[in-house]
A and B are shown apart, each in its own frame.
Chain A
Amino acid sequence: MNGPFMLRHALDGAVSANPARGVNHVEILADPLVISISARPATVARVKERLAGEEGLRFSGPAEWLVVAPRHDAIRVKSLTEAMGADALVADQSGGRVVLRLSGPAARAILAKLTPLDLHPDVFGEGQSANAFFGHVGVNLARLEGDVFELVLMRSFALFAFEELLEMGLEFGLTAGFAT
């Protein structure tokens, strides 16, 4: 898609090429799709309605959402932008975000060291997402299913936050690697 241009991931070099995979694991998405959608005050209801059922929809605020998918998809950016028209500010943030998937029986215990969110399944169920404090930085955190969480981090902070995450996972043998 992008001709001769090589993609450089913010976490390139932060994990070994052939990482071990333990029961508690962080998967780094190599080229994910992250779109932010901000509705205008006058169009919140309309935009919300139009986004209902959108796959990979994440809550950021009462008038702001993310759409996250495992692979960057320029066509989807374009079609969402066109669908929203003047009603919302649609921005492709894929380059500016790092998406991680943390899974395993200790996922909650690891996250408890980084975020104040109460991640008990009765409180934060499957499909739920939120912006929150994460270590020293911000995150959009979603529960994809059971013990699988998705973390959307700002690219500039990603290496710092990733190192912090790995350190918090040390006692649980947390492993990490790029998704294959």
Chain B
Amino acid sequence: MASLISCPHCGTRPKEEFSIKGDATRMRPSPQAPAEVWHKFVFIRDNPKGRHKEFWHHVLGCRRWLVVERDTLTHEVYGVTDAQQALKAGEAVE
């Protein structure tokens, strides 16, 4: 029926407004990083059960990329932040 995400900019909205990109803790390696690191970044994903950080794009709302920390089993949401604002504030997404 719906899962709700509380967008820091728009308020509580149903999942239909979002698209999900997956693991938000993986950041693009440096251009000089060895091929192995790039391979892992592009192709290898964990499929964790439990607490996880994901990129959610609020496509039909503010069009911001958000970091949603939630439990993949229960869908309990622990927090939603604006990815760019968090990164610029120097917060590692880890």
Contact = CB atoms under 8 A, between A and B. Distances in A.
Touch A–B, Cβ below 8 Å: yes
A138 B64 contact: no
Interface in A41-70: 41, 60-62, 64
B13 A116 contact: yes
Interface stretch (A11-19, A95-103, A126-134, A165-173): A126-134
Interface in B1-53: 2, 9-14, 16-17
Contact of B62 (A60, A116, A118): A60
A116 B6 CA distance: 13
A62 B10 CA distance: 9
Contact of B82 (A62, A64, A132): A62
Contact of A64 (B59, B62, B84): B62
A132 B88 contact: no
Interface of A: 41, 60-62, 64, 116, 118, 130-133, 138
5 contacts: A41-B88, A62-B62, A64-B63, A133-B13, A133-B17
